[in-house]
Amino acid sequence: MILPVAQDTLLDGIRLLPFLFVTYLVMEYIEHKTSEKSRQVMKKSGKWGPAIGGLMGVAPQCGFSAAAANLYAGRIITPGTLIAVFLSTSDEMLPVLISEQAPLGLILKILAAKAVIGICAGFLTDLLLRDRIGSRGDEMRIERLCDHQHCHCGEGRILSSALRHTVQIFVFILGISFLLNLLVEAAGQERLETLLCGRTLLGPLFAGLIGLIPNCASSVLLTRLFLSGMLSAGSMLAGLLAGSGVGLLVLFKVNDNLRENLRIALLLYVVGVVCGIAMEAAGGAGLVYFSSQT
């Protein structure tokens, strides 16, 4: 069983390679051309920070959530702006959806949902925590923190960065797809769909925990599970909202207030799970909003 599954997984993965590379090439170009301007806009966002951060967070910029974590650690942006960026950031969801040639309507709906939820949660956070916002300080440098991720922001090597991203995510996709395909063969797709999609509470709770993992693999896994029909729209939304790419990892590294960092992580998880459960509870209306496009 293992050899046929491995062959099918490899063939499917190779089919995705051109789409992945083109996607990351475009993303790297956007990143190199707009990253500094984006940070400057964030610095000057003021009370409208959550709205600006939520909209900018959906843009395909690999280091934007990390930049937001640095700006927050220097008290240059508000907690609500940080939350908005973290919730709206798509990490590797967008390139996986594009490489899988998902319908444009589906992609736009997911991005819009994350942006709207991020903006609303951001404004609410600032309203409730406005007295706890620290004073402005010096911005910490992002370059040394970006190096450990993979993006090498600001070096100007668009082609090599795109290739590096493509290879890394290609390996993630192969590994995750192989394990999923093995699981489907061993347990049966109908049984797995019942287990993962039929639990109103457990699905979003579990997916939210996966989303909190500060690694590319979490968003790749959640997106692949959803596209394969083994994860419901509500559970996928919960995980993708809770996930902020490398942003949460950078926050814990640069912000000295551990209790504050834990509150932010908990808030991401709670918002993600609540929104996911709400979509599951909505039944047809909530699930059709996404699933009808697949």
**Domain total in the chain:** 1
* Whole-number pLDDT of residue 240: 92
- Written as six digits, the tokens of 16 are 């995705």
Asked whether the beta carbons of 5 and 185 are under 8 A apart, the reply is yes
254 contact partners, CB below 8 Å, separation of at least 6: 69, 70, 73, 140, 145
Residue in the block written with tokens 């639990």: 199
* Claim: this prediction has a pTM higher than 0.75: no
- Written as six digits, the tokens of 70 are 């640095």
CA angle at 159 for the pair 170 and 221, rounded to the nearest 5°: 20
* Per-residue model confidence as pLDDT tens digits over 158-179: 788 778 877 877 787 788 777 7
Q: How far apart are CA 261 and CA 256, in angstroms?
A: 8
For 175-187, the DSSP string reads HHHHHHHHHHHHH
In whole angstroms, how far apart are CA 150 and each of 70, 76, 100, 153, 207? 17, 25, 23, 9, 25
- In which domain, by residue range, is 91 found? 2-291
Q: How far apart are CA 29 and CA 6, in angstroms?
A: 34
* Per-residue model confidence as pLDDT tens digits over 212-254: 887 667 788 888 888 887 788 889 999 999 988 778 888 888 8
* Per-residue model confidence as pLDDT tens digits over 17-64: 777 687 677 767 766 665 666 667 766 667 788 998 888 888 766 567
Burial 42-68 (b: 16+ CB within 10 A, else e): beebeeebbbbbbbbbbbbbbbbbbbb
